[in-house]
Amino acid sequence: MASNGYRNGAHRGSSSMKLDRQLPPANLKSSSFKSRVLPSQSPGSALRRSSPASFAAKGNDGVPGRVRVAVRLRPRNVEELAADADFADCVELLPELKRLKLRKNNWDSDTYEFDEVLTEFASQKRVYEVVAKPVVESVLDGYNGTVMAYGQTGTGKTFTLGRLGEEDTSDRGIMVRSMEDIFADISPETDSVSVSYLQLYMETIQDLLDPANDNIPIVEDPKTGDVSVPGATIVEIRDQQSFMELLRIGEAHRIAANTKLNTESSRSHAILMVHVKRSVMGREDIISSENGDPPHLAKPFKPLVRKSKLVVVDLAGSERVHKSGSEGHMLEEAKSINLSLSALGKCINALAENSPHVPVRDSKLTRLLKDSFGGTARTSLIVTIGPSPRHRGETASTILFGQRAMKVENMLRIKEEFDYKSLSRRLEVQLDKLIAENERQQKAFEDEVERINVEAQNRVSEVETNFADALEKERLKCQMDYMESVKQLEEKLVFNQQKHDHDGFTDEKCILQVPRFSVSEEVVEIRKLLENETNLRKVAEEEVKNLRSQLGQHPPLAAGGDAEMLKLRKILEDETRQKKKLEEEIIILRSQLFQLSFEADQMKMCLDRGGTGNAFAGLDSSMSPVRHSQLKDSGNGQKASIATLFEQVGLQKILALLESEDANVRIHAVKVVANLAAEEANQKKIVEAGGLSSLLMLLRSFEDETVRRVAAGAIANLAMNEANQELIMTQGGISLLSMTAADAEDPQTLRMVAGAIANLCGNDKLQMKLRTEGGIKALLGIVRCGHPDVLSQVARGIANFAKCESRCSTQGTKSGRSLLIDDGALPWIVQNANSEAPPIRRHIELALCHLAQHEVNARDMISGGALWELVRISHDCSREDIKSLARRTLSSSPAFRSEMRRLRMEF
């Protein structure tokens, strides 16, 4: 008996050969068989997840798809080498031309052309990729598919289809490899795969997974014409290991026998049915308005279920009784096999010749394969032949079978169903979430209303109490004042009465005894007194002059003069200190005056705009770099005030006050410096005079929150100048800002610090040093505040940093992934990419686009969820420049395009 090396079991004898033993993997080339099926797919690549339209239209009629046929030559075995040693092979392959020559004799041959011609050295992987892989891809896209092997017994059909490859993985057959691709593409959460394994033996369908289940009927749907075997065992599988176990069980129950042509000849047709159920989302049609306006409303995505079926058929080999030596029961098996194959050949002939009648009911095999030939499935057929001239008749018959099958054309259709159950479950979950959220909001609203009512009642009670107390105090005060006034009036009345009585008694005596003085005499007397005083003053001045002249003429006394000089010098020093103190007080008073003027201007501007905010936010708010424009627009009065203070007092004196021991002096001085730093014209003078060092010293040495807040605002204003940024970094400014950010809790202070760091993030040269000294970590730590203004400054800093990184990467001065991603900024960026605050959202969207411009960041952004935000930005961003940047980035990144194809996302 000739041993066959193609059986699924172990090889027997030294003559067994592997089909891929002499062909190195590097020699695999793209075949025309595959390229005709899927021009855009190259062999060896991963399964392509494309839209269903790549295979067939979505209409009810489908599109034509011809049966693809490949021929595979089995190498000679030991018996053939011994028996036909003097004879050449009857088959000559021309794989580069996709042709096969069948020799009639030494000078004459027939030539046949197939979709693919596979030599005896073709590997199992190449056979799968050119024959079965396009069918598997179609099944994953929602179409039915069939892969079938036909040929003489012993030519390698079972080896090609059902080889398990447990000893050598390169020997894996089409069944195993197709399931590997299916499991690699489906989602376990939403998709399912189930398997049935049958055999057709003696015109009886038997279940290989449950041998007791035999004589299974075939059922045909009268509406759709679909053929099914509902009585077969269907096992849902989740992984490749369970599938391999099912194949081993089925192969153990399959009927095989030893014949002269094959030691393990299959005596039944094996049929593997793989049912794939996939959930997809499809958008419904857009609703147009009744008056013909452009569409304005699109229905939401609807869930669809695609049910497809992959059928792998390992036909029993055709044989001639006198060659196989079959007799008895094996003879009956051979007759049954040949009859079913003959019925299949008749059906294919009828389909190839467009006959009005196709005898599909002549055999159960043709009924099972009704959808594969002339139906709606994509079908690939591989015919296997041997090289021996002793079997030239059987080889010719197999080749003619494949030639006729190439003329059969199927109409491919997708089977989609609306997934009502999935949609219902999803809507129920959403409804439950909305109900729970509504209950939470209702409870929170009621609690808030209750809190406001209680607070209002407390305030009303407090106001009423205060008003009653104040009213009582005012009443008592008025009563006391009234009683005091009455008492004083009574005393005056008594005094006037007594005076009146006394004056009336003495008037006549005064008139008679005292001479009357006229008013003019009194005036003359006053003038005389004034002249005397004037003369006395002149005399005193003359005496002073004489004394000074005498003092200049006489030399000073030795001992007494020194004491007098020391006394005078001490008095002079006291006067100098007093003068300096007065000058400081004058500066403080002037700064307070200018501060009050500025607050009055701010109040006036707020009232003119009709704003309801606090007009007396004061100088602290003006120090923020984001308020710099407001400071410029606050009016000519404020600029004149600052300029006047700058000219009258001098910058050095103002900076000297930063080191004063008086806290109020320091606070007013740092506010003045911050106001001056808001003007670009003053920044260079402040830095040259040592103002930057003084401000950094305040951050380092003072714990007063107001001083730190205003100093950080002044540093933020200075950091807007690129020349000052390097000085800030050189003098340890970023470390001080980081320490302040870690210690501060006041939102205004954190806003100033975040603004300063954000300005430094915009310098390409400082990025590495900024990151090394903890600037990025400090910026991310500030988000704990949660205030929108603070988060806006943080987002601005991240956007500046990402933009500089993108520019450096483009110029080639930086490589590797983003420092922002290394420092853990990506989760916060993704979380706030769709923030309700427009400034935050705008900066974060810009940062995402810059990060995504470089492929090295793509993997981290995909795993971190940034891809979804990029797609949203490309659709919904309010700024066209950011939207177009996101689109260009998505279209230019291979990693993003691959992930979007995998997730079926569009932009």
Range list of H helices, 263-356: 321-324, 329-352
DSSP H or E run through 195 = strand 192-201
Instruction: Judge whether 3 and 77 are in contact, CB under 8 Å.
Output: yes
3 is a domain residue: no
Q: Name the pairing type of β-strands 68-73 and 116-118.
A: parallel
Handedness of CA 566, 568, 574, 576 (dihedral sign): negative
Q: Is the pLDDT of residue 740 over 60?
A: yes
Report d(CA 271, CA 162) in Å as an integer.
Answer: 11
- Nearest partner of 339 among 312, 313, 359, judged by Cα: 359
Report d(CA 267, CA 319) in Å as an integer.
Answer: 11
Q: Is the pLDDT of residue 441 over 80?
A: yes
| SS3 state of residue 218 | coil
Q: Final residue of a domain: which of 488, 512, 532?
A: 488
Same structural domain for residues 389 and 471? no
Residue 249: per-residue pLDDT: 92
Handedness of CA 899, 901, 904, 905 (dihedral sign): positive
- Nearest partner of 403 among 70, 72, 166, 631, judged by Cα: 70
Residue 151 marked in a binding site: yes
Residue 465 marked in a binding site: no
Q: Final residue of a domain: which of 693, 708, 730?
A: 730
For residues 44-57, average pLDDT? 37
Residue 155 marked in a binding site: yes
Instruction: Judge whether 71 and 382 are in contact, CB under 8 Å.
Output: yes
Q: Final residue of a domain: which of 418, 447, 467?
A: 418
Same structural domain for residues 385 and 446? no
Handedness of CA 334, 340, 345, 346 (dihedral sign): positive
Same structural domain for residues 701 and 657? yes
pTM, to two decimals: 0.44
Look at 901 and 601; give whichever has higher pLDDT: 901
How many separate domains does the chain show? Answer: 3
Neighbours of 888 (CB within 10 A): 14
504 is a domain residue: no
132 is a domain residue: yes
pLDDT grade, residue 55 (50/70/90)? very low
- For 476, residues 6+ apart whose C-beta sits below 8 A from its C-beta are none
The DSSP bridge partners found for residue 266 are 256
pLDDT grade, residue 268 (50/70/90)? confident
Q: Is the pLDDT of residue 430 over 80?
A: yes
185-199 pLDDT tens trace: 998 888 899 999 999
pLDDT grade, residue 30 (50/70/90)? very low
Judged by average pLDDT, the poorest of 45-54, 200-209, 444-453 is 45-54
For the chain, what is the mean pLDDT? 75
Residue 816 marked in a binding site: no
Same structural domain for residues 414 and 426? no
Structure tokens at 541: 């001045």
Residue 153 marked in a binding site: yes
DSSP H or E run through 418 = strand 416-418
8 is a domain residue: no
Residue with tokens 């400082």: 766
Q: Is the pLDDT of residue 406 over 80?
A: yes
Same structural domain for residues 390 and 454? no
CATH code where residue 659 lies: 1.25.10.10
Q: Where are the beta strands (DSSP E) in 527-679?
A: none
Q: Note every long-range contact of 549-552, with CB atoms under 8 Å and residues 24 or more positions apart, other chains counting.
A: none
pLDDT grade, residue 26 (50/70/90)? very low
Structure tokens at 172: 């894996």
- Nearest partner of 257 among 363, 153, 398, 390, judged by Cα: 153
| SS3 state of residue 180 | helix
595 is a domain residue: no
Report d(CA 149, CA 719) in Å as an integer.
Answer: 77
- Nearest partner of 806 among 738, 897, 885, 695, judged by Cα: 885
Same structural domain for residues 373 and 471? no
- Rounded to the nearest 10°, the torsion over CA 172, 176, 181, 183 is -140
Give the HSE-up count for residue 24: Cα atoms under 13 Å, Cβ half-sphere.
Answer: 2
Q: Is the pLDDT of residue 795 over 80?
A: yes
Residue 327: per-residue pLDDT: 60
Q: Is the pLDDT of residue 346 over 80?
A: yes
- Domain holding 177, by residue range, is 68-74+119-282+301-418
Percentage of the chain beyond pLDDT 90 is 18
Residue 896 Cα distances to 187, 803, 841, 905, angstroms: 19, 20, 22, 10
Which amino acid belongs to residue 526?
A: I
The separation between CA 384 and the C-alpha centre of its own chain, rounded to angstroms, equals 52
The separation between CA 805 and the C-alpha centre of its own chain, rounded to angstroms, equals 18
Residue 152 marked in a binding site: yes
Structure tokens at 829: 């960026």
The separation between CA 325 and the C-alpha centre of its own chain, rounded to angstroms, equals 70
DSSP 129: I
CATH code where residue 317 lies: 3.40.850.10
Structure tokens at 265: 């000849």
Same structural domain for residues 651 and 710? yes
Same structural domain for residues 251 and 191? yes
12 is a domain residue: no
Neighbours of 902 (CB within 10 A): 12
Same structural domain for residues 193 and 335? yes
Report d(CA 704, CA 663) in Å as an integer.
Answer: 9
Structure tokens at 420: 């009502």
403 is a domain residue: yes
Same structural domain for residues 230 and 130? yes
Same structural domain for residues 346 and 373? yes
277-333 pLDDT tens trace: 988 776 554 444 445 555 544 555 667 888 899 999 999 877 666 565 566 667 777
Q: Cβ-count burial of 462 within 10 angstroms (0-12 exposed, 13-18 middle, 19+ buried)? A: exposed
Residue 586: per-residue pLDDT: 58
Q: Note every long-range contact of 524-532, with CB atoms under 8 Å and residues 24 or more positions apart, other chains counting.
A: none
Report d(CA 358, CA 854) in Å as an integer.
Answer: 60
840-858 pLDDT tens trace: 888 888 888 888 888 888 8
Q: Is the pLDDT of residue 604 over 60?
A: no
Q: Where are the beta strands (DSSP E) in 109-216?
A: 109-113, 116-118, 145-151, 192-201, 204-207
874 is a domain residue: no
DSSP 355: -
Same structural domain for residues 457 and 353? no
For residues 208-226, average pLDDT? 85
